[in-house]
Structure formats: C-alpha cells, structure tokens
Amino acid sequence: MSILIWPEPGREAGKARDMAGVTWLDRNEQWVILAKGVVVSWGEPPVRGKSLMVKGGQICGLCDAGQVGGSTQPGTRVVDLSHWHLVPALVDAHIHLALGRAADPTERLLRCLEAGIAAVRDGGGREPERLLEAVERLPGVLEVQGCGWALHAPGGYGGFLGRPVRDMAQFRDVLRHLEEMGAFFLKILLTGPVDFASGQVEQGPVFGRAD
C-alpha cells in the first residue's frame, strides 16, 4: 500500500522531507493510521476526524479517530500521521521501465513507489523480460501492467520499443508470445513520433486498412 502524505500548513519543509520514503506495513497484522484528514473521493475535501483501518494489506474502512481503542481488535498497531493528510496513491499511465540497457527496472519501480505511485502501465521495450524479472523480485510492491513489446512496421518508428510486424502471420506469432509473456494490452505504433511543439506526428500512418 502506498500513501502520499501532506503536512498541515505551516510545518517546516525539512520535517516534510524527513517523512519522505516508504513504510512497509506487515500484511499479517492489523493497522490503524491516524490522519489529519483522509481524501476519500477526488474533488472532495478531506474527511476530518477519521483514521484508516488496514488489514491483510487491504484498506478495510474508516473509524472515528477518538474511538480507535474501542473499535479495533487487540494487538492492532497504530501509525501516527495525525498532522498529515492521506490521499490515494498515484497511477503512471505511460512509463518505460526497461527502456535502454543501462536502465534498472527494479530501481525504477522503487523510485516510483517512493514518489507515491502505486500502479504503472509500461509502454514497451525491446527486453520486456527484464521488467518481468524486476516484478518477480518485488512481488506485490506495485501493480504493473505492460504490453511487452510495442509493435511497429519494419523500418519504421519504434525499433527501440519492441518488434517489427510485416504481415498477419508474423503478427499472430508475436501475439502468441505476448500472451505467453502475460501482456496486459496490445500496443501498435501507427505513426511516427509526436512533435510536441506543433502537436503533429512526424510521419503518417504506416499501416493501412489492408494491414
């Protein structure tokens, strides 16, 4: 479970930095997290006077802060963040964790967690097995959904992101490997890269209707 923590106004920035990092909650124990406020719905103000209850690694409800002792089971552990606001963790919907041979997917996953990101959608790379190995080394740390290889036209944009596909026979073969790999979604590069200054792509569609 990943939680972003905001200090109450007026607290020193140094104290905020001291609180940065990741605290691991033992899944075999029950926890209560005291908070200044808990954001339950986006766009709504934090709910005051509530504490977060966690059991088995899952958020199981809110309880009144003043009744923590009476509403929790014996042996429940308490984390005091009563000067901080709790908000849901973030999701990065476009990331490349294993892009480039120098990249360390394990280190990048840990950096995501430290930044308050609890789930990512990986947009592909030439060696997705490196990402799979990193996920296996960190089971349950982050929710990772990836496409494995991004598919592109032979000689076209995307060689650094995945595999070329020249016809349906090759597409079926690559798709079979992606299914075996456990890919969550299919990514097909239909155009060249985007020129963000002009808001246009640098190359038109590389696959036609017949493809």
Residue range(s) of every CATH 2.30.40 domain in the chain:
4-87
Percent pLDDT > 90 in the chain is: 32
Percent pLDDT > 70 in the chain is: 84
Residue range(s) of every CATH 3.20.20.140 domain in the chain:
91-201
Neighbours of 151 (CB within 10 A): 24
Secondary structure E strands in the chain = 4-7, 30-38, 47-48, 50-55, 58-64, 77-87, 90-95, 117-122, 143-146, 150-152, 162-164, 194-195, 200-201
Q: What is the mean pLDDT of the chain?
A: 82
4-87 CATH, one of 3.40.50, 3.30.1150, 3.30.43, 2.30.40: 2.30.40
Express each pLDDT in 74-128 by its tens digit. 778 888 888 888 888 889 999 999 988 778 999 999 888 888 888 999 999 999 9
Write out the CATH class of domain 91-201. alpha beta
158 vs 65, more confident: 158
pLDDT at position 123 is 94
Residue 3 pLDDT exceeds 60? no
Amino acid identity, residue 171?
F
Give the long-range contacts of residues 4-13, CB within 8 A, separation 24 or more. 4/86, 4/87, 4/88, 4/89, 4/90, 4/116, 5/81, 5/84, 5/85, 5/86, 6/84, 6/85, 6/87, 7/83, 7/84, 8/36, 8/83, 8/84, 8/85, 11/83
SS3 label, residue 176: helix
